[in-house]
Amino acid sequence: MILDGGDAVILGEAATSHGATATVTTSGHGAGAACAVTVGSGAGAGTAPGVLRHAPHRAQDPYGLGRILIVDDEPKIRSFIGRALTAAGYETDFAGNGAEGLRQALDGHYDLVILDLVMPDLDGREVLDRLLGFRPEQAVIVLSCVADVAAKVDCLERGAQDYLTKPFSLAELLARVRVRLRDEAHQHGGTHQHGGTHQHGGTHQHGGTHHAEVIRAGEVTLDVGRLVADIGNGPVPLTRLEFLLLKELAEHVGQSVPKGKLLATVWGYDFDPGSNVVDVCVRRLRSKLGFDLIKTVRGEGYQLVGR
C-alpha cells in the first residue's frame, strides 16, 4: 500500500497466523513519512487492523524471552512489529503516543522499550529523557524515520542503547532486540573478575532490600545498583551509558581499552559507526569526575588511571 502518492519502500515481512505475508511500506521522507502495512495472499489477506493488541501475558513463563513495550503513533507499524516479536517468543505491550508510552514504561517493568521519535503529543526525545531520568537502567531502542546522523548521535548520547531507521529490515530489528536483551541479562547477571575489585552487600531503598554490587578501581568507586560513581568527594549520578563506559574502564584499570571494545561493550556495535559517541561520553565523565581520571591513549583508546 502506498500513502499520499509517495514512493513505497519495503520495511520487512512476516508470516501471519493464516500463512499470509505482511509487508510494511513507508512513503515520503523524514519526519513526515507515512507508513502502511498490507497483508498479502492467503486466508488472512487484507489490511492489518490498526488496533492496540496485547500478546498473552507470559509473566510466569520461566522460558519467556522478555517483555517489550512498543511506542509508536502509527497503529499498523505497532501491529506489525508486535506480531513479529510475539511470533519470536516475546511478550509485547503497546502505546499509541508518547505520554501513554511514558506512563506504561514507568508503571510497568519492561526488558526493552522500542520508541518512535516523531509523535504528535510528546516527542520521543522527551520520552527518552524522562524515562531514563526515572529509570536510568531501562534499555531503549529508537526506531524512527529520522535518518540523519545528528539525530542518531543525540539519542545515543541521551542514553538510548540503539537506533534503527525506517525503512528497516525485520531480521535486523529482531537481531538487535536479541542483542539488547542478551546484554541486559549479562549486565544484571554475575560478576566479572578483571582489574576492578567487586564487593557485594548492603541495601538499597527502591521498594525493597537487595544486595548491592560495588566496584573499586583506582580512585573511583562504582555503585552498580544506583549508577553512581565516587572519587572521594561524594556520589555522582551518571547516565546509564556513562556508567557502563566507566565500568568497562574500571574492569581494566591501568590498561588501555580500545574504542572498538567500548563501542561493542557499551553500545553493542561490532563495527565503527563513524560517530564520536565514545569521545563525547568520555568528555561528560571527565566534566563530572575530573579530567585526570580518564587518560587518552593516542591511537589506542582510553585508560582509567590507577592509584
Quick: pLDDT tens for 128-154: 999 998 888 899 999 999 988 888 888
Residue 24 falls within a domain, yes or no? Answer: no
Q: Which pLDDT value is given to residue 185?
A: 62
Q: What is the DSSP string of 121-155?
A: SS-HHHHHHHHHHH-TT--EEEEES---HHHHHHH
User: Are 236 and 184 members of one domain?
Assistant: no
* Sheet with strand 21-27: strands edge to edge: 9-15, 21-27, 34-39, 46-47
User: Are 242 and 184 members of one domain?
Assistant: no
Query: How distant is the alpha carbon of residue 152 from its chain centre?
Result: 12
User: Are 140 and 59 members of one domain?
Assistant: yes
- Judge contact between 275 and 152, C-beta under 8 A: yes
User: Are 181 and 57 members of one domain?
Assistant: yes
Q: Pairing mode, if any, of strands 67-71 and 197-201? A: unpaired
Tell me which residue of 4, 141, 27, 146 sits closest to 81, measured CA to CA: 141
Residue 45 falls within a domain, yes or no? Answer: no
Residue with cell 487484507: 46
Strand ranges, E, within 160-298: 162-165, 197-201, 212-217, 220-223, 228-230, 236-237, 257-258, 294-297
User: Are 80 and 114 members of one domain?
Assistant: yes
Q: Which pLDDT value is given to residue 274?
A: 66
CATH of residue 255's domain is: 1.10.10.10
CATH of residue 70's domain is: 3.40.50.2300
User: Are 183 and 55 members of one domain?
Assistant: yes
User: Are 177 and 223 members of one domain?
Assistant: no
Distance CA 98, CA 106 (A): 12
Backbone angles phi, psi at 91, to 5 degrees: -90, 130
Residue 10 falls within a domain, yes or no? Answer: no
Provide the whole-model pTM. Answer: 0.52
Q: Which pLDDT value is given to residue 161?
A: 86
User: Are 71 and 183 members of one domain?
Assistant: yes
Phi-psi region of 139 (alpha: psi -120 to 50; beta: other; left: phi over 0): beta
Q: Which pLDDT value is given to residue 241?
A: 84
Q: Which pLDDT value is given to residue 180?
A: 82
pLDDT per residue of the chain (307 residues) written in tens, 0 to 9: 222 223 323 333 333 333 333 344 444 434 344 444 433 333 333 333 333 333 333 333 334 679 999 999 999 999 999 999 998 899 999 999 999 999 999 999 899 999 999 998 899 999 999 999 888 889 999 999 998 888 888 898 888 988 999 888 888 899 889 888 876 665 554 333 345 554 544 433 333 333 457 889 888 999 988 889 999 989 999 888 888 899 999 999 999 999 888 988 887 776 666 678 888 889 989 999 998 899 999 988 999 987 6
H/E stretch holding 57:
none
Counting other chains too, the contacts that 236-240 makes at CB distance below 8 Å and 24 or more residues apart are: 236/288, 236/289, 237/136, 238/136, 238/285, 238/288, 239/132, 239/136, 239/158, 239/159, 239/284, 240/132, 240/136, 240/137, 240/138, 240/159
C-alpha cell at 297: 591513549
At 36 the three-state DSSP class reads strand
User: Are 179 and 149 members of one domain?
Assistant: yes
pLDDT digits (tens, 9 = 90+) for 20-75: 333 444 444 343 444 444 333 333 333 333 333 333 333 333 346 799 999 999 99
Q: Which pLDDT value is given to residue 193?
A: 39
User: Are 92 and 61 members of one domain?
Assistant: yes
Q: Which pLDDT value is given to residue 72?
A: 95
User: By residue range, what is the domain housing residue 223?
Assistant: 197-203+210-304
Tell me which residue of 281, 280, 278, 306 sits closest to 292, measured CA to CA: 306
Residue 84 falls within a domain, yes or no? Answer: yes
Residue 76 falls within a domain, yes or no? Answer: yes
Residue 115 falls within a domain, yes or no? Answer: yes
The amino acid occupying position 40 is G
Total structural domains within the chain: 2
Residue 9 falls within a domain, yes or no? Answer: no
At 166 the three-state DSSP class reads coil
Distance CA 113, CA 111 (A): 7
Q: Which pLDDT value is given to residue 153?
A: 86
Q: Counting every residue, how long is the chain?
A: 307
Q: Which pLDDT value is given to residue 186?
A: 54
Residue 42 falls within a domain, yes or no? Answer: no
User: Are 76 and 177 members of one domain?
Assistant: yes
Q: Which pLDDT value is given to residue 121?
A: 87
User: Are 230 and 183 members of one domain?
Assistant: no
Cα separation of the two ends of the chain:
63
